[in-house]
Amino acid sequence: MRRTVRRVMAPAIAASAMLGVTLGTSITSNAATKAASAVKVGIVTEKTGIFSAYTQEWLQGVKIGFQYATKGTNKVNGHPIRLTTVDDADNPTTAATDFNSFVGSGYKIIGGTVDSGIATELAPLAQKNKVLYISGPAAADQITGANRYTFRSGRQTYQDVQAAKSYVKALGSGKTVLVLAQDFAFGQSYVTDCTQAFSALGDTVTSLLVPLTTTDFTPTALQVQADHPDIVFLAWAGATGAPLAQALDQQGIFSSSKVITGLANTATYQFYGTAGLKFYYISLYNWESPHNAVNAYLIKQMLAQYKAYPDLFTADGFVWAQMVVRAIQTGQGTNVMKMIKGLEGWKFNAPKGPQQIRTSDHAMLQPMFQVQLVSTVTGVYKPVNLATLSATQSAPPVSGHFG
């Protein structure tokens, strides 16, 4: 039985302030300004809230991605990029207001956000206003195929589940699988994908969806304990992962059930203690799994600029910047249909490896990873790559055609 409590968001009191940064050198001459005017690019994303840590690493990837894609000039065809980032505070009303403010100010390229529920609400605004919307790093399947004006820069939940499918198959058929997730578009998308994928293996799939506002996870852990699942598919995001893990551990869930989950930020590797070393991890990105020149560039620049390695969503930010540069190259940042056509079918090398934007529904085809956490001699946990799924192996089914 599916137990779910729907998410309710309070309306925003006021739109967030817009802070703009021009990436490149300003042109002072009137003639030069007309010939190489700045391209305005807007980002609506969560800078405060439970997903704010994701935004920070994603924006670091955006900065380095622009450097890479523009060969260090931060200009495209002579046009500097004027990037403006606003905080939606994980509020859909604020996000919509900011999106419309960008449109009213003449922005033709808008990106973000972290929250899948908000991203699915911004997608129709892109079509309504005929602007290019590149979401990121929201993962809900519904973003793919939303409309001709909407693209995604990261993976979707279907690709996560495909990466987990061989884990579930290896544990044998006839198992009970509980999908434990947050009750919004992100978690709901996992329930749909897991039910389809694991039922086909002969397993029984149920779900427990938890409101985003939850802070006391003891009742959640007790419910999981009462269900006695053979496998827990843990699909979680944000700062509440730590108290959830503690509650599950206290009720012995990690000992009684096999746990499959996504490898999250580096800071969370030790959330689950030694029990986490036995989990089955899927990985959308960790800096040690891909081996290619683009990832090497990202790692080098992260160390040079931030004294840190790339984290979970750094590569997604990098890809978002690559897509923006491609759009400007093909449509000058003003001709939306030319930018769309320039992105559709585009094949490129990203930190994860070869990626492609599917023309029919704008799915982002990309590699996925299976990893294992190990403890080093110093007690630090690190991922070891077990397998890489190609972009073809993890590709989602086509979800509509734009014609």
Q: Which of helix, strand or coil describes residue 32?
A: helix
Lowest mean pLDDT among 27-41, 56-70, 153-167, 344-358: 27-41
Task: Please check whether residue 79 lies inside any domain of the structure.
Answer: yes
Tokens read off for 51: 């997903």
Averaged over 384-403, what is the pLDDT?
Answer: 91
pLDDT tens digits along 260-303: 999 999 999 988 888 899 999 999 999 999 999 999 999 999 99
Q: Which residues on neighbouring strands pair with residue 372, listed in sequence order?
A: 384
Verify that 252 and 301 share a domain, yes or no. no
Averaged over 334-362, what is the pLDDT?
Answer: 98
pLDDT of residue 318: 98
Give the whole-number percent of the chain exceeding pLDDT 70. 91
Verify that 325 and 238 share a domain, yes or no. no
- Specify the pTM: 0.90
Confidence tier at 31 by pLDDT (50, 70, 90): very low
What SS3 string covers 82-109?
Answer: EEEEEECCCCHHHHHHHHHHHHHCCCCE
Verify that 260 and 380 share a domain, yes or no. yes
Give the Cα separation of 317 and 53 in Å (integer).
13
Confidence tier at 14 by pLDDT (50, 70, 90): very low
Verify that 358 and 272 share a domain, yes or no. no
pLDDT tens digits along 213-253: 999 999 999 999 999 999 999 999 988 988 999 999 999 99
The CA angle 62-260-176, to the nearest 5 degrees, is 140
Mean pLDDT over the full length of the chain: 91
Averaged over 300-321, what is the pLDDT?
Answer: 98
pLDDT tens digits along 108-123: 999 999 999 999 999 9
For 194, 196, 230, 278, the CA distances from 202, given in Å and listed in that order, are 12, 11, 13, 24
Task: Please check whether residue 403 lies inside any domain of the structure.
Answer: no
Give the Cα separation of 222 and 359 in Å (integer).
46
Verify that 60 and 119 share a domain, yes or no. yes
pLDDT of residue 15: 33
Task: Please check whether residue 3 lies inside any domain of the structure.
Answer: no
Domain encompassing residue 197: 158-287+368-389
Number of domains, the chain: 2
Task: Please check whether residue 164 lies inside any domain of the structure.
Answer: yes
Give the whole-number percent of the chain exceeding pLDDT 90. 85
| 155 has pLDDT over 60 | yes
Give the Cα separation of 116 and 160 in Å (integer).
15
pLDDT of residue 19: 42
Give 171-239 as a DSSP string.
T-SS-EEEEEEESSHHHHHHHHHHHHHHHTTT-EEEEEEE-TT----HHHHHHHHHH--SEEEEE--ST
pLDDT of residue 35: 53
| 158 has pLDDT over 60 | yes
| 7 has pLDDT over 60 | no
pLDDT tens digits along 54-104: 999 999 999 999 999 999 999 999 999 999 999 999 999 999 999 999 999
Pick the closest to residue 264 from 43, 44, 51 (CA basis). Answer: 51
Confidence tier at 50 by pLDDT (50, 70, 90): confident
Verify that 180 and 322 share a domain, yes or no. no
Tokens read off for 163: 């990466």
- 377: domain CATH number is 3.40.50.2300
Task: Please check whether residue 7 lies inside any domain of the structure.
Answer: no
Tokens read off for 376: 């080093």
The torsion angles phi and psi of 249, rounded to 5 degrees, stand at: -65, -40
Averaged over 381-392, what is the pLDDT?
Answer: 96
Lowest mean pLDDT among 28-32, 169-173, 185-189: 28-32
| 3 has pLDDT over 50 | no
Pick the closest to residue 118 from 18, 45, 209 (CA basis). Answer: 45
| 28 has pLDDT over 50 | no
Pick the closest to residue 325 from 123, 71, 96, 107 (CA basis). Answer: 71
Task: Please check whether residue 357 lies inside any domain of the structure.
Answer: yes
Task: Please check whether residue 254 lies inside any domain of the structure.
Answer: yes
Task: Please check whether residue 5 lies inside any domain of the structure.
Answer: no
pLDDT of residue 22: 46
Residue 193's Cα: distance from chain center in Å? 16
Confidence tier at 400 by pLDDT (50, 70, 90): confident
